[in-house]
């Protein structure tokens, strides 16, 4: 029996016959230092407008939504957030220009921080969002000259799956990979990538409905009982 087979067998025995699925450390799950911020992995939550901030005030249900998607050392980019009432392109998108809005963000930010997440706010105008949602149209290699010229942290987004993301990192084409629809539908996306587990399918119909739960915090987590994390040496 080869070494790998031996190891797999041993793993299986250690787990009392549970299906021990080998999970090698993949490029997406390697740490990255972004300036003074130490990220534990490279799977980033994309800014996702969800239109559930009634009258532009962030709501308590966003606490659960964002904390579901938080991992220790993971980076999250909050949905587009308006800085004035003229910057709001869509109804029920959050703002950060009144005291009430600022106060309403606090428990959300606190919940992300409590789980060790790093939370960025996307400030700006949401009018361009609809143009951004689409399949990956650009060959990622065309970003290479930009990548080489740019000294900061380079993030890529748009149609990436586990395999594309791993390749982008392994080939040095990106430092971090931003996931939108897959993260929306898989609150535990980094974990699913770790185990190469199946993904929940996203439901477009509920992207922007105002329900505080449906299509928002009700995407199921992976049942990890049959998966075993590879020990880090």
Ligand X SMILES: Cc1cc2nc3c(=O)[nH]c(=O)nc-3n(C[C@H](O)[C@H](O)[C@H](O)COP(=O)(O)O)c2cc1C
Instruction: List residues binding ligand X (CB under 6 A).
Output: 46-49, 79-80, 122, 126, 129, 132-133, 157-160, 179-182, 207
Q: How far is 151 from 140, CA to CA, in rounded Å?
A: 18
Cβ proximity to ligand X: between 117 and 158 the closer is 158
Q: Closest residue (Cβ) to ligand X?
A: 180
Cβ proximity to ligand X: between 21 and 157 the closer is 157
Residue 28 burial (C-beta neighbours within 10 Å; 0-12, 13-18, 19+) = buried
* Other Cβ atoms within 10 Å of 37 Cβ, number: 12
CB of 79 to ligand X, least distance (A): 5
CB of 16 to ligand X, least distance (A): 38
Cβ proximity to ligand X: between 160 and 219 the closer is 160
Q: How far is 73 from 34, CA to CA, in rounded Å?
A: 11
CB of 50 to ligand X, least distance (A): 7
CB of 230 to ligand X, least distance (A): 26
CB of 180 to ligand X, least distance (A): 3
Cβ proximity to ligand X: between 135 and 223 the closer is 135
Contacts of 196 (CB under 8 A, 6+ apart): 21, 23, 162
Q: Can you point out the beta strands (E) in 52-173?
A: 75-81, 118-123, 155-157
- As a whole number of angstroms, the longest Cα–Cα distance in the chain is 68
Cβ proximity to ligand X: between 36 and 131 the closer is 131
Sign of CA dihedral 73, 77, 81, 87: positive
């Amino acid at each position: 029996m080869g070494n790998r087979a031996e190891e797999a067998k041993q793993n299986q025995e250690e787990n009392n016959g549970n299906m021990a699925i080998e999970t090698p450390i993949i490029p997406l799950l390697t740490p990255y230092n972004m300036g003074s911020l130490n990220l534990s992995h490279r799977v980033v939550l994309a800014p996702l407008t969800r239109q559930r901030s009634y009258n532009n005030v962030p709501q308590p249900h966003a606490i659960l939504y964002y904390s579901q998607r938080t991992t220790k050392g993971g980076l999250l980019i909050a949905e587009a957030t308006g800085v004035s009432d003229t910057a709001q392109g869509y109804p029920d998108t959050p703002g950060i220009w009144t005291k009430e809005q600022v106060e309403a963000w606090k428990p959300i930010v606190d919940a992300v921080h409590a789980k060790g997440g790093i939370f960025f706010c996307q400030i700006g105008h949401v009018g361009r969002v609809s143009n951004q949602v689409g399949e990956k149209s650009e060959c990622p290699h065309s970003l290479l000259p930009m990548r080489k010229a740019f000294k900061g942290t380079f993030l890529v987004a748009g149609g990436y799956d586990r395999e594309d993301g791993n390749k982008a990192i392994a080939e040095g084409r990106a430092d971090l990979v931003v996931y939108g629809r897959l993260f929306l539908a898989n609150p535990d996306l980094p974990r699913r990538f770790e185990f190469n587990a199946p993904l929940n399918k996203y439901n477009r119909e509920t992207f922007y409905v105002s329900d505080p739960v449906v299509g928002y915090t009700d995407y199921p987590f992976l049942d990890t009982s049959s998966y075993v994390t590879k020990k880090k040496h």
